[in-house]
Amino acid sequence: MGQQALRRMVRHEERIQANSITDHSRGWSGMVRRLTRRQQNNGTSFRKPSPLENFVDLNLLPPELALQILKNLNATDLCLASCVWGDLANDEILWEQLCRASWGFCSAYDFWKADGRSFKRLFLLLDESCLTFNTKPEWGIQYLIDNGVLEDEGAKIARFFHSTNQLCWHKVRTYLNTRQDVLEEFIKLQNFKNQFLPNALRKFFHAVQAPTTHRENLAGLIDKFSRQFCADNPDVKLKPETVAMLCFSLILLSVDLTSPNVKNKMSKREFVRNICQATHQLEEAAFNRLPRHRRPVVMVATTVGRDFAGHLYDNVYLIGHVAPQRWNDNISV
């Protein structure tokens, strides 16, 4: 009897707890239904808000602030933004900034704004010309000339090449080989100030294609580079003839050290001795060409010493060929 009474009491307590849990859950569910109904009556819901709902409409901002935001976009994103904010995204200030950031110079900058033309149109013309140039260089330049964006002058075309990074430099070097007037103006725009001679020569051959055959005028390129290097570095006190001789020596040394066909590499001692002898002979020949009444009493000593020649050898030995793209272009062909 005692055990049966105990079981009845346990079952009774379990029924009481189950009923209390059910009533509690019914209370919570009823509360949730009431809150949901109230939110629906107020026009709101519990859905997650979209990110676009928190995005600021640029039309509600001051124009100066909206333009500052749009200045951070590239051309593609700015075109997409014009689908929403047409007046702001088509502002001439934005497109002029994009044009000058990608192409530092073109002849149209002098008159485009005064003529009331669209800089967005100018950007599209420049972009189309670069795509054409990277396939057919002559067609790309002619496209700019026909549309009045660039004048057919050597100095203007050289400045256009020098002020942009939108062009394939292999195609630029190919075009320069066909226009000597553009090549001469392009070399004048190169800056070799405070640069060691082998490093300046590498920079030169990065911009100008190194000749790969004997028919091409390597001597003419070296002569132009030597004059520009001396003009940019008057403190070095080297004559253009001396710089040209050193450039040829560096090219020969580069071939000697990098070519797998050369088994017996030139040593540093041999290079230094050859440079000193060649420099002395060059200075002596220049001294003898002077009229007797203009010759100094004592021939001026050469400025190319053994230490300087040793530094030239070390640079080529450690860094490599002074015209590396000559070999890379041959491999890719």
Look at 4 and 125; give whichever has higher pLDDT.
Answer: 125
Look at 282 and 139; give whichever has higher pLDDT.
Answer: 139
Q: Tell me what percent of the residues of the chain surpass a pLDDT of 70.
A: 64
Query: Structure pTM?
Result: 0.66
Task: Return the top range by mean pLDDT from 71-75, 212-216, 284-288, 312-316.
Answer: 312-316
**What's the rounded Cα separation, in Å, for the pair 52 and 320?**
55
Task: Give one word for 277, left, alpha or beta, with left for phi > 0 and alpha for psi -120 to 50.
Answer: alpha
Burial 206-233 (b: 16+ CB within 10 A, else e): ebbbbbeeeeeebeebbbbbbebbbeeb
Cβ neighbours around 99 below 10 Å, total: 22
Q: Cβ neighbours of residue 232 under 8 Å, at least 6 residues apart?
A: 191, 192, 193
Res. 288: pLDDT tops 50? yes
Res. 242: pLDDT tops 50? yes
Q: For position 87, what pLDDT does the model report?
A: 64
**What mean pLDDT do residues 49-73 have?**
59
Res. 19: pLDDT tops 80? no
**What mean pLDDT do residues 200-211 have?**
84
In angstroms, what CA-CA distances link 291 with 19, 249, 281? 126, 29, 18
